[in-house]
Amino acid sequence: MIVAVLDLNCDLGESYGAYVHGADDEMMPMITSANIACGAHGGEPAVMRRSVDRAIDHGVAIGAHVGLPDRLGFGRREIPTSGQEVYDLCLFQIGALDSFVRVRGHVLQHVKLHGALYMMANRDRVLAEAACAAISALSPSLLVYVLPGSQLHSAAMAAGLTTVAEIFADRPYRDGHVQMYDRSPGLVGGPDQVVTRSLRELDRAHGSGGLSLCVHSDTPGAPALLRAIRAALLRAGYSFQSPTPSTPVPTHSIASPTTKGSMQ
């Protein structure tokens, strides 16, 4: 039996306006790290605030989910983007989410790029280095979630940043490579297929450093899939914990009006 500590992460906070996206409320209690959208591909200030509050209430570590400014394509369309633009996007979005985290007296744990930007930076060294430069400039203690063996992985290590290698439970793999945009129900599979894929890819990734398993909140049936994964991993000897514990820092926390019941 494997005895290992594993992070369970989920992309959350992607609703905006009248549009509700993802099973956030059901997923939050079952994860250890939350990747919260920062207002570009999804999310908005009120959603960011509520997502941060819920994560803190559940003891879930918080990361900035930085995407391309493309709401129409939900950040999943590749758009020609320069290194300078990636740097600016990272500074802008991480800083925005960090403000909501700081006023609660907590610390941002990590950065995870979203969708097309994630895939672009994982294969393009210039974009990878730009993202890492922004993260280093803001806080070298921020963790970077990466595909194992990718350009982003090596660029982050070269920049002295700590990486967390990411496995995707609800995305198919072909020849050892994740197929990020193949999201049909048949390719994602049901609980048995998702569990088998997770165990297989975790076994392959051992030795890559810190590991995190992702289940997207907008995958059909995501809560049931995550419950099946957790049960199978517990049986296999895994326990669940974020890479860094979600604990308050000794600083003044500014109360949100939400805490007084005046906002929802």
pLDDT score at 23: 93
Average pLDDT over residues 88-114: 97
- Residue-wise pLDDT for 19-40, tens only, equals 888 999 999 999 999 999 999 9
Find the helix packing angle between 83-102 and 125-138, rounded to 10°.
Answer: 30
User: Considering the chain, what percentage of its residues have pLDDT values greater than 90?
Assistant: 73
* 214 against 262, higher pLDDT: 214
CA dihedral 218, 220, 221, 222 (to 10 degrees): -30
pLDDT score at 180: 78
∠ CA 88-92-95, nearest 5°, is: 135
CA 86, CA 152: separation in Å to the nearest integer? 13
pLDDT score at 71: 77
* Interstrand relation of 210-214 and 33-37 (parallel, antiparallel or unpaired): unpaired
| pLDDT mean across residues, the chain | 89
Of the candidate ranges 41-50, 51-60, 74-83, 203-212, the one whose mean pLDDT is the lowest:
203-212
pLDDT score at 110: 98
pLDDT at residue 73 above 70? yes
With b meaning 16 or more CB within 10 Å and e meaning fewer, what string describes 62-92? bbbbbbbebbeebbbeeeebebeebbebbbe
pLDDT at residue 46 above 60? yes
- Residue-wise pLDDT for 155-175, tens only, equals 999 999 999 999 999 998 988
* 150 against 1, higher pLDDT: 150
pLDDT score at 205: 83
pLDDT at residue 253 above 50? no
Is residue 213 within 8 A of residue 170, CB to CB? The reply is no
pLDDT at residue 264 above 90? no
pLDDT score at 262: 36
- Residue-wise pLDDT for 207-226, tens only, equals 666 899 999 999 999 999 99
